[in-house]
Amino acid sequence: MPQLFGTDGVRGLANADLTADLALGLAQATAVVLGQGRSAEARRAAGKRPVAVLARDPRISGEFLSAAVAAGLASSGVDVLEAGVLPTPATAFLIADIDADFGVMISASHNPAPDNGIKIFARGGTKLPDAVERRIEEYLDRPKLSPTGADVGRIIRFADAEDRYVLHLLGSLPNRLDGIHVVLDCAHGAAAGVSPETFRDAGAKVTIIGNDPDGMNINDGVGSTHLDLLSKAVLEHGADLGIAHDGDADRCLAVDAAGKVVDGDQIMAILAVSMQERGKLKDDTLVATVMSNLGLHVAMREHGINVVQTGVGDRYVLEAMNANAYSLGGEQSGHVIMADYATTGDGILTGLHIVAEMARTGKTLAELAAVMQVYPQILVNVTGVDRTRLVGDEVVDAAVRAAEVELGDDGRVLLRPSGTEQLVRVMVEAADQPTADRLAHRLADVVRERLAI
């Protein structure tokens, strides 16, 4: 069968690619693979059933998909704690908080409303390794668990799920947020109920946009992929900053009081310096992907902070963090992982800690973000090429070396083949935009000529 799991769960057009039948089958297969661990067997020995947490974002299709998942799990002998609409990081936290055997989140993150996805978390709220995802796929075509009588699972409302998560977020803060006015863009998504409440409880003055989910408007012109409305709202209300979440609230981007965007790299720089000053940055190390801006590396070097680079994708950031127990990592897109408090990216947590640093230092967001100079960056997608021939092409390699010599210490070059399409991504950073543009297009021409299909 074709591979179902992508870089972040199983995704597709709801009721076309991602059907109720598939959701049911995935849940039953997951019950076999994750419901047979040591903790589940200990529960059975005590006369109890395995336990899973289930939550969703407010997409209309999440209603039938979560019902299908709940049915699949319960019919396989798993008790389902149904948490309703909550952020993805809340689901991960709750799995660990109540020591559930695993959990499922129904969301397609920043994708438009017609799409949806199924994200599965292991015990402890961690993402699944590739090998476990493959096992779940294999069990789709194998016999399922079919308990009867008292061994059938129950579907129970997780009544205090949101309260547990909010208390966890508030407990992570080093100080209150009093005196700071923040505009929150909840993307008409899973943050709508939790984020405003938490920021207010922490002491901030809150103005809200993107906070009226109707099942179809998630990410529609709002949220972390559409920051214009947030910038406008910050200026209109005279706020100190704006925080934007995506549909499932695992990302966070910001705008300062002047409406200028503060991206994930700048957010990581702010948090890294703050955590270092407070003795919270493990081994004075930050984990970031190869796509992070050169300015982040320069800023961290100036503060004595080491940067570990990974491949693109939060799962690779997490792998590097977990391997060495690093406390901070993330991506330019705003997917920031604070390992002392979360097992995955948490946009609300990240936003709270940005505002907490403003309150602690008395600095504006623009002043904090100035710790890092953002180098001009251009990304050119070269299509119609054989990406498999990129590595080892002598002419392309020579062109890259020539560009690197011209840039010196004031820029960098990255050529990356797509993992799914016949294209090569050419990224260049330089001290000025014209230089970045010129070198990127020159390299793109070489790639196009050498690797043409």
Residue ranges for the known binding site are 109, 246, 248, 250
Q: Is 109 a catalytic residue?
A: yes
Residue with tokens 């196009």: 448
- Do the bridges between strand 253-256 and strand 328-330 make them parallel or antiparallel, or are there none, so unpaired? unpaired
Count how many Cα atoms sit within 13 Å of the Cα of residue 120 in the half-sphere of its side chain: 31
The H or E element that residue 181 is part of is: strand 181-185
Residue with tokens 């990224």: 427
CA neighbor of 347 nearest in space, from 57, 124, 13, 52 = 57
Binding residues for Mg(2+): 109, 246, 248, 250
State the amino acid at position 38 in one-letter form: R
**What is the arrangement of strands in the sheet containing 241-244, beginning at the earlier edge strand?**
205-209, 181-185, 241-244, 253-256, 261-262
CA distance 97 to 9: 22
The active-site residue out of 66, 75, 109, 292 is 109
Phi and psi angles of residue 143, each rounded to the nearest 5 degrees, phi first: -60, 140
Known catalytic residues are: 109
